[in-house]
Amino acid sequence: MLFRHGLRRVDPERAHHLAFGAIRAAGPALRGADRLAAVRRTSAPVKALGLEFPNALGLAAGFDKLGIGYDALGALGFGHVEIGTVTALAQPGNPKPRLFRLADDRAVVNRMGFNNDGAAAVARRLAGRGAAHERKPGRGPVLGINIGKSKVVPDNDEQAVLADYETSTRLLAPYADYLVVNVSSPNTPGLRNLQAVERLAPLLAHVREVADETRPDRVPLLVKIAPDLADDDVLGVADLARAQGLDGIIATNTTISREGLRTPAAEVEAAGAGGLSGAPLRERATAVMRLLRDRVGPDLTLIGVGGISTADDARERLDAGATLLQAYTGFIYGGPLWPRRVLGGL
């Protein structure tokens, strides 16, 4: 209701900041509200990545890029919150406007470009929560940290790419319940080139080594892939994950496809380049999940994201093989009670 009659008329990026600000302001009341006990009672915990998640539903990276409101978001019902994408260097992102609604499709187009404060600033912010290996279970949602390549680092300079991800890993791994290497956003030039197995393998191996040097316990490491990969490339990532002992795969990020949209073509064209998220992504994201689960077997953690708008969508993704779920656009259109509705439907 708020979206339809209020925030829909506001610039999408400004609307995001207004809504997120309201959630953060309400955080203490949300955390103490008795009504949240109903969410916990109707939500089955999930054991994955060596952790216990309060429920299967999490908030995908992109909503809390700076690590400023994850506890308040968890109080809405999300069992885990993934912050970021964070880069080693602070960067403003792409020029505005860079976020667009396609309301007829319940979709969003973004070309944010990893706008964030940089890994050092985010690490200082997270230090107040304490190191992950010292944190008591149940203190807020499970916290994932999503790291990506700084825009100024050329993707064809392997040593520079490794050094860039190393900086973020050293600074942020101590605070992560799990760590995600993002090589799948379409909004950083050259980033998706790193999804090629021959480029991805040394990157993941290096992040794993650095993370192990950084903290006394083993932080789970996952990779996030795009829906636009060919099926053979999806299977290649699955094989790499098993070969390297990766802890999981997140499937999928946004798509560059614009096929099958209800939104008038002129409106789609006006939105321009960027990654599309939301309901149109559901079919491909589900198909990628089935491919991955069939390839990796029953044990590897797979997090399903992309096009989850309803409890039925969530159930479909779990049936396709997802261990855990994430959402972003469904939450934007559904509002603050959306997590409770989906969990209640499950």
With a threshold of 0.85, does the pTM exceed it?
Answer: yes
pLDDT band at 179 (very low <50, low <70, confident <90, very high): very high
Between 279 and 134, the higher pLDDT residue: 279
Between 32 and 179, the higher pLDDT residue: 179
62 is an annotated ligand-binding site residue = yes
Would you put residue 321 in left (φ > 0), alpha (ψ -120 to 50) or beta? Answer: left
Spatial neighbors of 344 by CB under 8 A, at least 6 apart, are: 42, 311
* Structural domains of the chain, count: 1
147 near 83, Cβ under 8 Å? no
pLDDT (tens digit per residue) in 25-46? 987 777 665 455 555 555 799 9
Q: What is the dihedral of CA 60, 227, 278, 177, to 10 degrees?
A: -10
321 is an annotated ligand-binding site residue = no
pLDDT band at 243 (very low <50, low <70, confident <90, very high): very high
146 is an annotated ligand-binding site residue = yes
pLDDT (tens digit per residue) in 292-343? 999 999 999 999 999 999 999 999 999 999 999 999 999 999 999 999 999 9
* pLDDT recorded at residue 8: 62
Instruction: Report in angstroms the alpha-carbon separations of 80 from 49, 60, 144, 190, 320.
Output: 12, 9, 7, 29, 20
CA neighbours within 13 Å on the CB side: how many for 139? 11
24 is an annotated ligand-binding site residue = no
What is the domain extent for residue 220?
Answer: 2-345
DSSP conformational letter for 79: S
Please tell me whether residue 303 adopts helix, strand or coil conformation. Answer: strand
156 is an annotated ligand-binding site residue = no
* DSSP code per residue over 164-175: HHHHHHHHHGGG
The CATH number linked to 206 is 3.20.20.70
299 burial class (0-12, 13-18, 19+ CB within 10 angstroms)?
exposed
* Catalytic residue status for 185: yes
* pLDDT recorded at residue 301: 98
Query: Catalytic residue among 168, 184, 185, 277, which?
Result: 185
Distance CA 145, CA 19 (A): 22
